[in-house]
Amino acid sequence: MSDHEDVEYTDSFIGALEMVWGDGFLSPGGKEEIALFLEGVDISGKEVLDVGCGVGGCDVVLARDYGAAHVHGIDVEGPVLERCVARAEREGLSDRLSYRKVDPGPFPLPDESFDVVFSKDAMIHIEDKHSLFAEVFRVLRPGGLFVASDWMRRDEGPPGPEAQRWLDVVGLTFGMHSPPFYLDALEKAGFVDCSTADRNEFVTRALRADHALMTGEGREELIRRTGEEAQHYIDVWHAGMRAAEVGELRPGHLRAFKP
Ligand SMILES: C[S@@+](CC[C@H](N)C(=O)[O-])C[C@H]1O[C@@H](n2cnc3c(N)ncnc32)[C@H](O)[C@@H]1O
């Protein structure tokens, strides 16, 4: 696997993300965050779609720890999916985890084909939330559940200075919106009992701890994983930490039901 020009989640970026967030995870909190957003719901025996599955750590947790019958992960980047397939084999879960590379836009998936749509910190990359949630609604069976977390922002005004700095430094394709905007898009798609839960405090703590690790005892490991880009990742984490500290970033959980 090598870094490609058209790939945003390069080997070195994945190296930095997994260093702070654990093997298989490109977002903070890992198993503990998944436990929180699945609190009170039972996904055992269910068919799950994971939108923006990254390198597949979440899918292993959903199948192995929560008994999902099958998890189908979709992502726009090929190299991350190669890692997912290898992980599924290593975990002995190849019969319950499947993956597909997709283009941005409508899902190439049949109507009403999943019981649960799951997504962890990936929908930030998709600008048109109304079309996105219409697609999520379409592929869910009646009675289906949407659960996710995402990097949201404080409001729909221009990003505050710290959020703007983070967006500039991180340099990824983002289409950020506020929690009320997400709720509106979910309701317009037809979902009911839509809710968000703010995780700003948790993410602020996580980014502070990550930044301390990257600039302290983990510095050598970061350089080993990312080479000359180490300082870039330190800057990314510092900017994210500041944007979270001042409340311009509002990461949170989302939940909604298809009637
Ligand atoms: C921050 S990572 C999160 C990965 C994983 N969910 C996790 O928590 O470890 C975001 C992922 O979303 C993927 N992505 C970006 N745009 C997407 C789209 N339009 N559809 C599906 N996946 C997308 C990226 O390639 C990346 O793998």
Question: Which amino acid is it at 221?
Answer: E
Position 16 pLDDT exceeds 90: yes
Position 41 pLDDT exceeds 60: yes
Q: Confirm or reject: Cβ of 150 under 6 Å from ligand 1.
A: no
Residue scoring higher pLDDT (185 or 6)? 185
- Which strands form 192-198's sheet, in the order they lie side by side? 97-101, 70-75, 47-51, 114-120, 140-150, 252-257, 192-198
Ligand 1 atom 19: residue of nearest CA: 104
User: Cα dihedral sign for 124, 130, 136, 139?
Assistant: negative
Report how far ligand 1's centroid is from the alpha carbon of 122 (Å).
Answer: 4
Q: Confirm or reject: Cβ of 121 under 6 Å from ligand 1.
A: yes
Q: Confirm or reject: Cβ of 25 under 6 Å from ligand 1.
A: yes
Mean pLDDT, residues 106-116: 98
DSSP state of 141: E
Mean pLDDT, residues 204-211: 98
Q: Confirm or reject: Cβ of 74 under 6 Å from ligand 1.
A: yes
Which numbered atom of ligand 1 lies nearest the CA of 24?
Answer: 9
Ligand 1 atom 14: residue of nearest CA: 52
Look up residue 105 and give its two tokens.
């836009």
Report how far ligand 1's centroid is from the alpha carbon of 53 (Å).
Answer: 6
Report the chain's mean pLDDT, rounded to a whole number.
96
Q: Confirm or reject: Cβ of 33 under 6 Å from ligand 1.
A: no
Report how far ligand 1's centroid is from the alpha carbon of 191 (Å).
Answer: 23
Split at pLDDT 50, 70, 90, the class of 37 is confident
Split at pLDDT 50, 70, 90, the class of 4 is very low
Look up residue 34 and give its two tokens.
């998944």
The fraction of the chain above a pLDDT of 90, given in percent, is 97
- Testing ligand 1's pocket by substitution, the residue of 74, 125, 132 carrying the most ligand atoms inside 8 A of its CB is 125
**Where do the structural domains in the chain lie, given as residue ranges?**
11-257
User: Cα dihedral sign for 186, 188, 191, 195?
Assistant: positive
| pLDDT of 109 | 98
Question: What's the topology of domain 11-257?
Answer: Rossmann fold (3.40.50)
Mean pLDDT, residues 168-184: 95
Split at pLDDT 50, 70, 90, the class of 186 is very high
Report how far ligand 1's centroid is from the alpha carbon of 127 (Å).
Answer: 13
Q: Confirm or reject: Cβ of 57 under 6 Å from ligand 1.
A: yes
Position 2 pLDDT exceeds 50: no
The CA radius of gyration of the chain, in Å to the nearest whole number, is: 18
Contacts of range 170-177, beta carbons closer than 8 Å, 24 or more positions apart: 170/236, 170/239, 170/240, 172/8, 172/125, 173/8, 173/125, 174/124, 174/125, 175/124, 175/125, 175/126, 175/127, 175/128, 175/129, 176/124, 176/151, 176/152, 177/129, 177/152, 177/153
